[in-house]
Structure 1
Amino acid sequence: MEERGTRKVSLRGWGGVATMAVACALTVVFALLLPLTQRGGAVGGDGSTGAGPGGVAAGVQARADDCDADVEGKEPERSVSRSGSDSGGAVQAIMDRGYVSVGVDQNSYRWGYRDPNNLDESSELEGFDIDLAHEIAREILGSPDKIRFKAIPTNQRIPAIQRGDVDMVVRTMTISCERLKDVDFSTAYFQTGQQVLAPKASDIDGFDKSLGGKRVCSAAGSTAESALKQGRTDRKIPADTDISETVPNQLDCLVRLQLGEVDAVVTDGALAASQAAQDPTVQLKGEPFTKEYYGVAMKKGSDELVRRVNGILEDYRKSGGWQKSYDHWLKQALGASEGPPAPKYK
């Protein structure tokens, strides 16, 4: 992996509730400012990241009705085989345009965020997902700088891809059978699972009966929201657990937790651990109760682009780039890693 001279920042945490609330309020402002590449890319006149993906090839990605997370061989994280070729409509469109447009988060600590100690518009995006996005740009276009970011709320990830606002989304996005109806995914680049985040002083033990009568927050359109609904149906959590509080961005749940407006948050354990690192008054409760994988999401049918990204991910794993990024951004919160998940192909 090419050394990019990533700027190191002092990760001192976000302080109290007031600072977090301000940071969330600034999300709307930064969403308008974000389509600036980290290293000098231009902004389209409409404030967007520029043109969306070009033509698409006929896809052979797994269909949602062929997918069953509990059946070997039908796991949703299985993707089309890798390719090192830049042929194909969507890949060629990116090359002709001269930059790749990527939907990201700008508020997920250590994943995709701006240094909270430097909230001016020139502050660079950084984190584990941001490193991966730069690697994709470097492999396709020869430079990690040829990229434009667009801030996308959790509940707008799929619509942004379908509209062609971005070429792909690299935003802690879980691969699922349900989502395969709407978008295609690369092979998995990270394993995680849903987990409960609550105040240390809380009597909540995890995803169990201790959530009875509690107010639980999740991001709209997230796998956490689906897990909460399924948990009540399966009676893994009590029927009186209030799961009605949903927000556009997952970080908003942490703010509500800090303000006492909810009693707990359900989200990916990898995100929750990073949030616990921001706020020492909260902690993960219980073990992960699902097994999930993050993938790069792309427009349905953009088969050659998916293949190209899968090839990039294989190189990223083998070169040590993945491990280097993990150690820099995530090891402190998540501990030592056994490495990236192995790719699964159809």
Structure 2
Amino acid sequence: MKKGLKFLFSSLLLLSAVMPTFQATTVSAQEELPAQVQALRDAGVIRVGIKEDVPYFGFLNPDTNEHEGFEIDLARLLAEEITGSPDNVEFTGVTAKTRGPLLDNGEVDMIIATFTITEERKETYNFSDAYFTDQVGFLVRSEDGYTDLASLNGKTIGVAQSATTKQKIEEIGAEDGLAFKFSELASYPELKTALTSRRIDAFSVDKSILAGYVDDNTEILEIGFAPQEYGVATALSNDELAAYINDLINQWLEDGTLEGLLAEHGLVDAAAEETEEDAE
């Protein structure tokens, strides 16, 4: 009996010694969380600007009224890390023209919407490292017989408002003495309709975006140029949040998480594709 009481007393002493250590570690971990990230955790939700008209990336399915796509899944991963649940995310549909202003006025915490990283944009927003790389391409009517950039010389090309596409086309065209007319529209569905109704001769944006608009009467030209790197954008003042997100993006790039998500949505990273071709 004495041995039993002695053993019980020793166990209680050991337990009391361990418990404070565990509690101190937990509190310390909470204190180390960046203040801007902790604010989102306390709010219990992250507000994300996403595309709703880009199949495979960010799309509002009219049949289910649910958001779906690679960038939607990426947003849910971030929500799980920051708030503890992938469901704690509030989506706001954006276009190339509206995504910047929504971030500027604080209506969203971050933008995950095929937002191309450029040096000019980095003066206004924080960007994570690229989670996907694409190329600019052209969607044309199959019957028109366009084959390359030269065959589009003098034609009208439809591009999204506030996108970098027009500038990139002008730059590469100038190298070969080519010139184009442009029609800038607000959304991708409008651009596809303009192509179908023959108001434009080609619809140009990143090739992965164009893939969602191909039908029996259209095709994407094989040419691709001006690599477009997509990053998660946050307000320039949210440097702590930006650094936290960037660490997660790089972790998921290294451990294959993002590669798996891309495969689920049938997407191929242009940078990875070029690396494989160089290896061959």
CA-to-aligned-CA distance 1:171-209 (integer Å, 9 cap, x gap): 011101121121110010001111111112222223x22
TM-score (norm 2): 0.80
The residue number in structure 2 matching 1:268 is: 206
Gaps of 5+ in 1: 1-84, 342-346
Q: Which has the higher strand share?
A: 2
The residue number in structure 1 matching 2:34 is: 87
Aligned length: 243
Match of 2:61 among 93, 115, 120: 115
The residue number in structure 1 matching 2:237 is: 301
CA distance in 2, matches of 1:237, 1:293: 27
Q: CA deviation at 1:227?
A: 1.3
Match of 2:85 among 122, 143, 154: 143
The residue number in structure 2 matching 1:291 is: 227
Secondary structure of the residue aligned to 2:203 is: strand
CA distance in 2, matches of 1:336, 1:180: 22
CA-to-aligned-CA distance 1:271-326 (integer Å, 9 cap, x gap): 112322xx132111132111121000110131111111012212322443212211
CA distance in 1, matches of 2:143, 2:165: 23
Alignment partner of 1:105 is 2:51 = yes
CA distance in 2, matches of 1:302, 1:336: 29
- Identify which range, 168-177 or 279-288, moves more after superposition: 279-288
The residue number in structure 2 matching 1:323 is: 259
The residue number in structure 2 matching 1:211 is: 152
CA-to-aligned-CA distance 1:101-143 (integer Å, 9 cap, x gap): 0000111111111224x06xxx210100000000010011111
Superposition pairs of residues 165-184 of structure 1, within 5 angstroms: 165-184=107-126
Q: CA deviation at 1:166?
A: 0.5
Alignment partner of 1:238 is 2:214 = no
Question: Which one-letter code corresponds to 1:91 in the other structure?
Answer: V
CA distance in 1, matches of 2:201, 2:249: 38
Q: Return the index of the structure with the highest Cα Rg.
A: 2
Q: CA deviation at 1:211?
A: 1.2
Q: Which has the higher helix share?
A: 2
Q: CA deviation at 1:100?
A: 0.3
Q: CA deviation at 1:152?
A: 1.0
Question: Which one-letter code corresponds to 1:132 in the other structure?
Answer: L
CA distance in 2, matches of 1:176, 1:255: 29
Work out the percentage of aligned pairs sharing the same amino acid: 27
Q: CA deviation at 1:338?
A: 4.1
Q: CA deviation at 1:235?
A: 4.6
| 8 Å contact kept, 2:97–2:162 | yes
